[in-house]
Amino acid sequence: MLMKAASQSLTGQLAGRFAERIRNRLLASGTRLPSVRQCAQQQGVSASTVVAAYDQLQAQGLVEARRNRGFFVRDSSLNMPLAAVNRAQAATKNIANKPVDASALIRGMFHQVSSKPQPGVGVFPPAWLETRFLGAAVRKVTSASALREFSLNYGEPLGDGGLRRSLSQKLGALNVQAAPEQIITTVGATHALDIVSRTLLRAGDCVMVEEPGWAVEFARLAALGMRILPVPRRADGPDLAVMAQYCQLHQPKLFVSVSVFHNPTGYCLTPGSAHRVLQLANQHNFHIAEDDTYSHLAPEHATRLSALDGLQRTIYVSGFAKILAPGWRVGFMAAPPELVERLLNTKLLATLTTPALLEKALAWCIDQGQLRRHAERIRSRLDAARGRSVKLALSHGCSFAAEPAGLFGWVDTGVDTDALAQRMLDEGYLIAPGALFHAARQPSTLMRINFATTQEAAFWKVFARLRDGVK
């Protein structure tokens, strides 16, 4: 709370609070600040104090006033005088919606807002991931001679051979048949998706991406100069009619899809929908990047495009940050044989090779069955947490826009979650508003919650109180 007796004035405290959030990207470019009246009520100060604080933020170049509309966070990438900013905005005034600032999501997910469990984060709490076998795995592969070899030489271009053999067997259990020579290790799953995009696409190419979807993927493709074609995601899979229309009109080169436990809805692809997607890919000559980041949380028999397709038009992407060791940054892709050399060339140009030491440690975790047993424990714990979170959400007046499944819940709050997010920050909670999961920012009453971090009543009590204030 703002303190009248503090050494800094109320105006300075309020301006400082907003400035910190803007600089930490907790308030993304284009975000509208609360109206003067709303802010005064929320913070318990006078309207003149809010006006003075907003004036300070303007003077610092952090916000801008738009006539008859309010105050908005300025685009942080425009590090230029205000007059130049105005000219740039005038030049782009015909753009209806601005892409979501995905860096705000990334920074926000890892910025320590408070010590409270954070409902908007996209990962398991560290306490859930703690194991004894990670240390044992590293010790196993770091004898004096091995450490010298791994440290003084580059690893294999495709990635550690032992890990690729382990991954080949692991994929076989998912009915994805990939020889070790078809597998390339990467610095996390996001790196794998980036390699696919840079290899198969050129600036101006059209890419179909499921919506709602991962904000980082929208922003990453936009930064590469791609034309994003949002495909509505339904319970059974992507909207096939929209995909067919895109294929007729725009000849897309790639479709990016999350088949299992889609983020943020939790939907899983059905066999019938998967079959039709593959028919479209063959008919219109596009590839599919299948992001199976949440494979460790799903049953092996879940429908995957790569299994049905046999890695002909599909490229399977996954990693281990969600389930095991985020800091190890080990991901991989399994690709059609004819694409492997092209994808490998892109990897080598960007990173040369990937760290062999951690790849060998991960292979040990897989081969010894440690990863499998760890994933089973996580799934059991997540099932219990999901049950508690769903009950709390429903009891506090929310509904679910999708059947709760996996790590995330797609919750309808009934109010503008962009506005709610700002108020929740005052209470030390970071939420993920629905606008973050669309190719272009648009008001939304939805938010994505992490079931692992929303099973305590304390959060939901604060949420309900602040939500009622937004109405």
CB atoms under 10 Å from CB of 98, counted, come to 13
For residues 87 and 114, membership in a common domain is answered with: no
Last residue of a domain, one of 368, 402, 431: 368
pLDDT of 271-301, one tens digit each?
999 999 999 999 999 999 999 999 999 988 9
Determine the pLDDT at residue 88: 33
Range of the domain at 352: 132-368
Residue 311: name the closest of 291, 326, 289 by CA.
289
Q: Establish if 31 belongs to a structural domain.
A: yes
* pLDDT band with cut points at 50, 70 and 90 for residue 144: confident
Phi and psi (nearest 5°) for 35?
-60, 160
For residues 161 and 261, membership in a common domain is answered with: yes
**Domain CATH code at residue 423:** 3.90.1150.10
For residues 188 and 289, membership in a common domain is answered with: yes
Share of the chain above pLDDT 70, in %: 91
Q: Establish if 2 belongs to a structural domain.
A: no
Residue 124: name the closest of 372, 389, 324 by CA.
324
Number of domains in the chain: 3
For residues 361 and 382, membership in a common domain is answered with: no
For residues 254 and 284, membership in a common domain is answered with: yes
The Cα 305–Cα 316 span in angstroms is 9
Q: What is the mean pLDDT of the chain?
A: 88
For residues 184 and 53, membership in a common domain is answered with: no
For residues 389 and 245, membership in a common domain is answered with: no
For residues 240 and 181, membership in a common domain is answered with: yes
Q: Establish if 85 belongs to a structural domain.
A: yes
Mean pLDDT of 315-340: 95
pLDDT of 173-189, one tens digit each?
999 999 999 999 999 99
Q: Give whole-number Cα distances, 291 to 12, 228, 263, 346, 354, in Å.
A: 45, 17, 10, 19, 20
Last residue of a domain, one of 330, 350, 368: 368
Last residue of a domain, one of 368, 385, 410: 368
The SS3 assignment for 229 reads strand
Q: What is the pTM of this model?
A: 0.83
Q: Is the pLDDT of residue 339 over 80?
A: yes
For residues 188 and 337, membership in a common domain is answered with: yes
The Cα 18–Cα 63 span in angstroms is 10
**Domain CATH code at residue 286:** 3.40.640.10
Q: Establish if 97 belongs to a structural domain.
A: no
* Stretch among 26-30, 44-48, 291-295 having the lowest mean pLDDT: 26-30
For residues 387 and 279, membership in a common domain is answered with: no
* pLDDT band with cut points at 50, 70 and 90 for residue 219: confident
Q: Establish if 452 belongs to a structural domain.
A: yes
Q: Establish if 32 belongs to a structural domain.
A: yes
Q: Establish if 161 belongs to a structural domain.
A: yes
Q: Establish if 284 belongs to a structural domain.
A: yes
For residues 219 and 307, membership in a common domain is answered with: yes
Residue 185: name the closest of 168, 160, 165 by CA.
160
* pLDDT band with cut points at 50, 70 and 90 for residue 215: confident
Q: Is the pLDDT of residue 77 over 60?
A: no
For residues 235 and 158, membership in a common domain is answered with: yes
Q: List, in order, residues 6 or more apart from 426 with CB less than 8 Å away.
A: 42, 43
pLDDT of 79-90, one tens digit each?
434 443 343 333
